[in-house]
Amino acid sequence: MTCTVPFTDSDRILLGHGSGGRLTHELIQKVFYPAFANPFIEQNHDGCTFSVASGNMACSTDSFVVDPIFFPGGTIGDLAVNGTLNDLACCGATPLYLTAGFILEEGLLLSDLHRIVLSMKEAAAHADVKIIAGDTKVVERGKCDKLFINTTGIGMVPAGIRIAPELAQPGDVVICSAPIGLHGITILSARESIGFKTMLKSDTASLNNMLGHLLTNIKEVHVLRDPTRGGVATTLNEIAGSASVEIVLYEATLPIPEGVKAASEMLGLDPLYIANEGVVLVILPEKEADEALRIMHRFPEGKEAVVIGRIVDGKPMVRVKTLFGGSRIVDMLTGEQLPRIC
Amino acid sequence: MTCTVPFTDSDRILLGHGSGGRLTHELIQKVFYPAFANPFIEQNHDGCTFSVASGNMACSTDSFVVDPIFFPGGTIGDLAVNGTLNDLACCGATPLYLTAGFILEEGLLLSDLHRIVLSMKEAAAHADVKIIAGDTKVVERGKCDKLFINTTGIGMVPAGIRIAPELAQPGDVVICSAPIGLHGITILSARESIGFKTMLKSDTASLNNMLGHLLTNIKEVHVLRDPTRGGVATTLNEIAGSASVEIVLYEATLPIPEGVKAASEMLGLDPLYIANEGVVLVILPEKEADEALRIMHRFPEGKEAVVIGRIVDGKPMVRVKTLFGGSRIVDMLTGEQLPRIC
């Protein structure tokens, strides 16, 4: 891609870019508006207005502090767009609008900011959402780490859709849409301080397109959740708690890539706790599973979707049936496995 | 106020509080849910759903990085609530919902976080809005400065209301709702590194109640803007640019408290560039001004409202008629007057 950038390779963010004055305006006009161009953000006001039809809306907010800000498969920017979109999609919503709040460290390279903003633009275009409002703050060198991004999303929930963790019930199965552990292991290996390299890349992706098709075609979907921080184990524990059901996973079916398996063994991590950014867990009645898989397999982000477990009557917990016929209970993540994963 | 807090005075934020696992859940259950209690946030999902009537909505986002996090008149928490509410109110909207995204520094005192969350609860209750979704991230010690808060707000714009900077037109007057400069000078004096004390306190306040009444009773309001970062001068320059009009201010009428005047002179600052957090500039036809002032004077946040200038035909700029009959042009803020004011 060729594009003319309005600054040199050595230009950096100054405190004045957060002043609200002339430098802030220049940053908005040269970097943010050209990337996010749409009639909403160009209202040039403290906020923006848009019209809605009556119905159910969903909203979700997430701040992104991932370290490093560039990693194989993505940037903090597309992660921030996809992460919030996916949270909306997991509420059964069609994502429409995002806001973006930037906290920048004095000294950040403008070219890095520009690259991140362009990755947000691409991710938003791919998912067909608009970034309609923004904010920029700058803090002194050493008072944040390069940049943090908050995205907040708004979407409409089509009539008749109700997705909620407490709807999981005995007779349901758990579908996992894609291989697990890729984002967490990629971030771990991209940290300069970890002397460890892999060929893996982050799975960051927007899931709203696939989930939209799923909800249009399958009557009864009970729960959708993306297992990000805390991984599959923590997410399923939350669901088991909300619905007061037991969730049984079959170790043999867990889609763990060889690279994730090898890295996890080396580092003493359990892939069930590793963060994912392009995976969704779909919980629905067993009779709907085949059709759901057929639909998901048509999308790149769901082509390896597989049933990994089922909901049964029992105490609220998650149990893994091991390859050798035994079983182990997997609890929520305790402590911190890897800070600043997203 | 007596309240039982679920932690001791020496408990601090750990990286694990941002893991998405057990500690994150504890923080949510013990600190956030009790303060923000409402059926939306308790949906316990990745996002939350709510129903809307068809019409115009407004949304606005702001990240708050103010230093210090506690200051005379407020905290980073009520500032974060009021700031975003006011941006919505300045779009002509009735604020309904807020999201809150926290970025916490490892080692932050839990009691400080709790105090801030309670100040958000109070500010939200005062303005009659609900905090419906949240997010918590934790970064390593030294990678942010205590805490940063993003708030994103959603409101409905009543039918028939249209407020926009480009609507300012010759024949309009500019009303300033309250004394200016209080927030900026208070923050400046609260910084430990500035050897300077005042009895002033921040004007942080929600303006939505007063502005709601104003819009119900006055047919033609053209522009509403809260002059935060960059102050009155920068905000009016933005409006002059959007509407292609000249704005003339009368120095004699500018509501600058003695304490702000004294501090500004000592520090070489111009109060017109100092940030405010409880002030709104109202631009409307001159014939509506008396009635608007009557309405605003009934509210504590508008009891000192006063006409400070008028819109005239001319080049897009802001000119101040001085006490001595001369005039000076005030441009947008250039550079940074005071970092991390909000």
Q: Can you give the CATH number for the domain in which A259 is found?
A: 3.90.650.10
Size of interface A-B (CB pairs under 8 A): 298
Does the CA dihedral A184-A185-A187-A192 come out positive or negative?
positive
Which of A129, A157, A185 is at the close of a domain?
A157
Q: DSSP for B167-194?
A: G--TTEEEEE-S-SSHHHHHHHHHSTTS
Query: CB-CB: which of A23, A44, A62 is closest to B101?
Result: A62
**Are residue B132 and residue B169 in the same domain, yes or no?**
no
CA distance B175 to B307: 4
Is the pLDDT at B331 greater than 90, yes or no? Answer: yes
Q: Can you give the CATH number for the domain in which B60 is found?
A: 3.30.1330.10
In a domain? residue B300:
yes
Residue of A nearest to B144 (CA): A144
Is the pLDDT at B70 greater than 50, yes or no? Answer: yes
Residues of A in contact with B65 (CB under 8 A): 103, 137, 139, 143-144
Number of Cβ atoms within 10 Å of the Cβ of A22? 18
Q: List the one residue out of B30, B155, B140, B144 whose CA is nearest residue B76.
A: B144
Query: CB-CB: which of B19, B54, B334 is closest to A229?
Result: B19
* Structure tokens belonging to residue B45: 């999902």
Domain that holds residue A149: 41-157
Is the pLDDT at B74 greater than 80, yes or no? Answer: yes
**Are residue A147 and residue A173 in the same domain, yes or no?**
no
In a domain? residue B7:
no
**Are residue B282 and residue B185 in the same domain, yes or no?**
yes
Residues of A in contact with B62 (CB under 8 A): 101, 135
Query: CB-CB: which of A64, A145, A152 is closest to B152?
Result: A152
CA distance B342 to B276: 9
The pTM of the full predicted model, rounded to 2 decimals, is 0.96
pLDDT in the model for residue B337: 75
Pairing of strands B70-71, B74-75: antiparallel
pLDDT in the model for residue A1: 40
In a domain? residue A64:
yes
pLDDT in the model for residue B2: 41
**Are residue B61 and residue B179 in the same domain, yes or no?**
no
In a domain? residue B341:
no
pLDDT in the model for residue B297: 98
pLDDT in the model for residue B100: 98
Is the pLDDT at B197 greater than 80, yes or no? Answer: no
In a domain? residue A23:
no
Burial annotation B14-50 (CB, 10 A radius, 16+ → b, else e): bbbbbbbbbbbbebbeebbebbbeeebbebbbbbbbb
**Are residue B194 and residue B254 in the same domain, yes or no?**
yes
Look at A334 and B23 and tell me if their CB atoms are within 8 Å. Answer: yes
Residues of A in contact with B92 (CB under 8 A): 49
Question: A21-30, A38-47, B105-114, B187-196: which range is least confident on average?
Answer: B187-196
Which of A127, A157, A187 is at the close of a domain?
A157
**Are residue B137 and residue B176 in the same domain, yes or no?**
no
In a domain? residue B94:
yes
**Are residue A61 and residue A104 in the same domain, yes or no?**
yes
Q: How many domains does chain B have?
A: 2
* Structure tokens belonging to residue B252: 């004699």
CA distance A72 to A201: 5
CA distance A262 to B247: 67
Q: In chain A, which stretches have pLDDT less than 70?
A: 1-5, 192-198
Residue of B nearest to A164 (CA): B45
Look at B23 and A62 and tell me if their CB atoms are within 8 Å. Answer: no
Residues of A in contact with B94 (CB under 8 A): none
Which of B114, B136, B157 is at the close of a domain?
B157
**Are residue B207 and residue B317 in the same domain, yes or no?**
yes
Rg (CA), chain A: 21
**Are residue B142 and residue B182 in the same domain, yes or no?**
no
CA distance B69 to B64: 10
Interface test with chain A among B17, B19, B69, by most A beta carbons within 10 Å: B19
Q: List the one residue out of B22, B36, B16, B10 whose CA is nearest residue B137.
A: B16
**Are residue A252 and residue A225 in the same domain, yes or no?**
yes
Residues of B in contact with A54 (CB under 8 A): 51-54
**Are residue B213 and residue B296 in the same domain, yes or no?**
yes
At B94, phi and psi to the nearest 5?
Answer: -90, 110
Pairing of strands B223-225, B147-157: unpaired
Query: CB-CB: which of A19, A63, A238 is closest to B230?
Result: A19
pLDDT in the model for residue A194: 64
If you average pLDDT over residues B305-317, what whole number do you get?
Answer: 97
**Are residue B73 and residue B181 in the same domain, yes or no?**
no
pLDDT band at B9 (very low <50, low <70, confident <90, very high): confident
In a domain? residue A17:
no
Is the pLDDT at B58 greater than 60, yes or no? Answer: yes
In a domain? residue B91:
yes
